[in-house]
Structure 1
Amino acid sequence: MEKFGRRFEGKVAIVTASTQGIGYSIAERLGLEGASVVVSSRKQKNVDGAVEKLKARGIEVLGIVCHVSNAQQRKNLIQKTLQRYGRLDVIVSNAAANPAVTAILETKEIVLDKLCNHVLNEAASHLQKGSSVVLISSIAAYQPSEALAMYGVTKTALLGLTKALAAEMAPYTRVNCVAPGFVPTHFASAITSNKSMRKNLEEKALLNRLGTTQDMAAATAYLASEDASYVTGEILVVAGGTPSRL
């Protein structure tokens, strides 16, 4: 069994889109380090399954259905967290969507809404002094692919959002960003399950492998913790040495 510290003892953390993949591993890592975690996704069945697995690991957890493009559900997520725990210390904005494979100039406004919404507007006024926000971007932010161009561009926007929010929310809340490399999750399965594409991605990484959800969870936990108390406005690329330059 993993041995972790207790950097989040007494803290409350919301992780959006956290019932599988990278989001789930982040919630699990924060919970194993002592946080009370709030997990969410669009489907009740997925929320229930994640809560059951996290509780089995001894983690204090609250599960809430939340589609991040729905303003009322975002508000409900924050309200129920405060009702249950009375505080909010960490927000990990992990929700990602690729609702359309289209050219940028053909992207509809409703698609942009789905890609760009986050919970910070609702949560900002409730964050404790010394709190932390971690946005989850992607290596695709640095070189958006043709097939997922709009997705990549929204992830590029998160890099700028990190810088802007860090200035706006200082000095009481730190804002940082993790840009994961390719990880073989359900979300990325169209790419990582293709043998030739996977081999190409592995060869681009200096470490010659894809990332794991645990790699991303470890990086996120660092940025959210007091170990990073003098780090804000930064983007941490966790991609095994894959080139990342705008």
Structure 2
Amino acid sequence: MQRARLLLGCCVSSWKPVRMASSRVARQAPHANKVALVTGSTDGIGFAIARRLAQDGAHVVVSSRKQQNVDRAVAMLQGEGLSVTGTVCNVEKAQDREQLVATAVKLHGGIDILICNAGIVPFFGNIIDATEEIWDKLWADKANEERLKQRLLIKRLGKPEDCAGIVSFLCSEDASYITAETVTAGGGLLACL
């Protein structure tokens, strides 16, 4: 029996590093050669999502209502060596949405991933609504912030990057069997968001 444990222990210890190594290799660029269009992506959660998707290999098109915000976000992300372009888009205007899609198609030939902060007509690939409403409005002052932290199981407020990893996962092949689900990044908030 002890001999079997030793033998099994050797197999398990040699198997685990190989499995982890192959997992790391497969996950280095889960969005390689994909095109991601992210609306409202020049700051906050949208910016963090655009950065993460680009870090994971996607060609990202960022957008915002103001040209200077688009220029700043594109310069910052390109400065990190990421494949990012951008254009102005107010998603409330149909003409702007059409232009945004046309720009992505012209530059990259299509769209594989759409991350939106507004209800727009579904098309192409993965569509994720990354609404920031609760993130932007809940902690207006220090007292509110402390009360909220006490209600959270992890006892800290969320950061935009906390959503970005989830979005990248949901857009990856690893999440190919997940559909029509609501995933809440709420830090263990006990009440419904």
- Structure 2 length normalisation: TM-score? 0.81
Residues 1:37 and 2:60 are matched in the alignment: yes
1:74 to 97, 122, 145: 97
Residue identity opposite 1:132 in structure 2 = N
For 1:53 and 1:193, locate their aligned partners in 2 and report how far apart those are by CA, in whole Å: 28
Checking the alignment, whether the CA contact within 8 Å between 2:46 and 2:130 is kept in structure 1 is no
TM-score, structure 1 as length reference: 0.64
CA contact (8 A) 1:12 1:88 kept: yes
Structure 2 residue aligned with 1:136 = 130
Larger Rg computed on CA atoms: 2
Match of 1:197 in 2: 144
Question: Given that residues 18 and 94 in structure 1 are in contact (C-alpha distance below 8 angstroms), is that contact kept between their aligned partners in structure 2?
Answer: no
Alpha carbon RMSD of aligned pairs, Å?
A: 1.9
Q: Of the candidates 224, 228, 243, which is equivalent to residue 171 of structure 2?
A: 224
Q: Secondary structure at the match of 2:37?
A: strand
**Deviations 1:37-78 (Å, cap 9, x if unpaired)?**
010000000000000001011111111100011110010000
Any idea what SS the aligned residue of 1:88 has? coil
Cα pair 1:54 1:61 within 8 Å, conserved: yes
Q: Which whole-Å CA distance do the structure 1 matches of 2:111 and 2:131 have between them?
A: 22
Matches within 5 A, 1:204-243: 204-243=151-190
The residue identity in structure 2 corresponding to 1:42 is: R
Deviation of the 1:193 alpha carbon: 4.3
Distance in 2 (CA, whole Å) between partners of 1:27 and 1:244 is 29
> Secondary structure at the residue paired with 1:34?
coil
Question: How many residues were matched structurally?
Answer: 168
Displacement over 3 Å in runs of 4+ = none
Q: Which has the higher helix share?
A: 2
Q: Does 1:85 align with 2:32?
A: no
Question: Following superposition of structure 1 onto structure 2, how do residues 1-80 of structure 1 map, counting pairs within 5 Å?
Answer: 5-80=28-103
